[in-house]
Amino acid sequence: MMRIPVNPELLHWVRERSGIVQKNLAAKFKKLPEWENGETQPTLKQVEKFAHAVHVPVGYLFLSQPPEEPIPIPDFRTLAGQPVTRLSPNLLDIIYICQERQSWYQDFTRASSQPKLDFVGSATVETPPETVATEMSKTLSFDLEARRDCKTWTDALKLFIHHADKAGVLVMVSGVVMSNPHRSLDPSEFRGFALSDPFAPLIFVNGADTKAAQMFTLAHELAHIWLGASALSNLGAVPGQGFRREETWCNAVAAELLVPSAVLRSHLKKAAAATSSARH
């Protein structure tokens, strides 16, 4: 039986990359600890099965050292005010899948001679969030009145997605990779991302998140489309962190779109007046 000389460092790297704890993998690959320690080597068939289990191309295991895997879009994720460095194969694969879908969408818009979408890149971070939220509401025909008959967050989210699609934004929502129930997407790693394009903008929303959170994520990523900027987000940006300003601006636009400040102030005034009247 022919053994394959695989660098133990690469075995350790792909396991760490997968996010699967060693004992769980070792239950399927009994010799994994020995492979990682360099005590023995796997067969070609074992290498192929292991690569499939950790969601990595087989060729990676024959490299001399772990490859660089830069995220193909700007990464604005933060945790406790610091940039997030974790990158799971599930996240990387879903970005690549969406880029392929967007490529198809671009070809479709060109073949059908669809016009450029004027709202893509129509704003900057200097534009007041209230102004952008108002324009966004008009473009999408999605305001409080449109949502009035929605009885649940699920209904509101479906309506929101429908209006975004109708405006020309391809919206994808899923909680797993390629319908694979064993490859779930973790909301703590990312909430969504935007792939900006003047003809074929695409937004992906992590469907493993709550419906209310998905609503905000969609609004947030739409703000990125209005900026004309692709981005990966977890909505954990902290104000005043330089390049993170884009994220806080998108958060402000999303909040204004979903709950306009003027409407909120009106409700607060009415509530305060009602309370005052009741006291007297």
As a residue count, the chain comes to: 280
**pTM of the full predicted structure?**
0.81
DSSP state of 184: E
Tell me what pLDDT residue 80 has: 59
CA dihedral 244, 246, 251, 256 (to 10 degrees): 150
Tokens 């790693």, residue? 189
Q: Is the pLDDT confidence value at 237 over 70?
A: no
Q: Which helix (H) or strand (E) holds 249?
A: helix 245-258
Q: Which of the residue ranges 147-156, 170-179, 221-230, 238-247 would you say has the lowest mean pLDDT?
A: 238-247
| Banded pLDDT at 262 (limits 50, 70, 90) | low
**pLDDT single digits (tens) 97-147:** 999 999 999 999 999 999 999 999 999 999 999 999 999 999 999 877 778
Query: Is the Cβ–Cβ distance between 34 and 40 less than 8 Å?
Result: yes
**pLDDT single digits (tens) 185-224:** 999 889 999 999 999 999 999 999 999 999 999 999 999 9
Average pLDDT over residues 236-252: 71
Q: How far apart are CA 252 and CA 216, in angstroms?
A: 11
Task: Look at residue 232 and give its three-state secondary structure.
Answer: strand
Segments making up each domain of the chain, as ranges: 8-62, 78-265
Q: How far apart are CA 272 and CA 266, in angstroms?
A: 10
